[in-house]
């Protein structure tokens, strides 16, 4: 009987397998010798006080001690600035006389507060400086007891 001939494809597959086996053996020897490039010193990264990642360790002389009691876990409760302040001042950004509503820009927080004609003490126009109180409405903060500043 004649011997089966080795085709080009079979020869290529055999050389690829041989090459893969040699590479795997070389990697195993490198890892055994510690030359794999994955040592711990090369893998460490440090984060500085501004949150930037660097390869240099932090300066321990700038270290600040933090008490465990001062650490808050979770989201702190929102306290609106000037919550103790009842009467606020602001400038009327928009007011529509025909529809009876508008918005006041609070000078303290910079937020826009809705105002309805029912919350007015006296008539207002745009760019008037006013004093008002804030109450929580169904869709957010509402201004009530709105008066012109004289």
Same-domain pairing of 133 and 92: yes
Q: Is 10 helix (H, G, I), strand (E, B) or coil?
A: helix
Q: Model-level pTM?
A: 0.45
Who wins on pLDDT, 41 or 123?
123
The answer to whether position 79 is within a domain reads no
User: Please, which residues have CB within 8 angstroms of residue 85's CB and are 6 or more apart in sequence?
Assistant: 108
How sure is the predictor about 144, in pLDDT bands with cuts at 50, 70 and 90? very high
| Mean pLDDT computed over 79-96 | 78
**Residue 120's CATH number:** 2.40.50.140
Across 26-50, average pLDDT: 78
Residue 3 lies in a domain: no
Q: Is residue 92 part of a domain?
A: yes
The values of phi and psi at residue 66, to 5°, are -120, 135
Instruction: Check pLDDT > 90 for residue 70.
Output: no
% of the chain beyond a pLDDT of 70? 87
Domain assignment of residue 121, given as a range: 87-148
Spatial CB neighbours of 90, under 8 Å, sequence gap ≥ 6 = 104, 105, 106, 107, 113, 129, 130, 131, 132, 143
Q: Give the pLDDT mean for 51-78.
A: 85
Domain tally, the chain: 2
């Amino acid at each position: 009987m004649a011997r089966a001939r080795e085709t080009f494809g079979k020869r290529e597959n055999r050389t690829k397998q041989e090459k893969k086996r040699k590479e795997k053996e070389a990697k195993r020897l490198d890892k055994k010798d510690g030359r794999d490039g994955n040592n711990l010193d090369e893998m460490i990264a440090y984060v500085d006080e501004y949150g930037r990642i660097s390869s240099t360790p932090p300066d321990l002389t700038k270290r600040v001690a933090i008490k465990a009691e001062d650490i808050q876990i979770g989201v702190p409760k929102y306290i609106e600035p000037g919550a103790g302040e009842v009467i606020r001042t602001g400038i009327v950004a928009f007011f529509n006389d025909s529809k009876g509503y508008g918005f006041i820009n609070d000078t303290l927080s910079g937020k826009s507060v809705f105002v309805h004609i029912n919350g007015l003490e006296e008539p207002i126009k745009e760019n008037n400086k006013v004093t008002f109180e804030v109450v929580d409405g169904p869709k957010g903060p509402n201004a009530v007891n709105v008066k012109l500043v004289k």
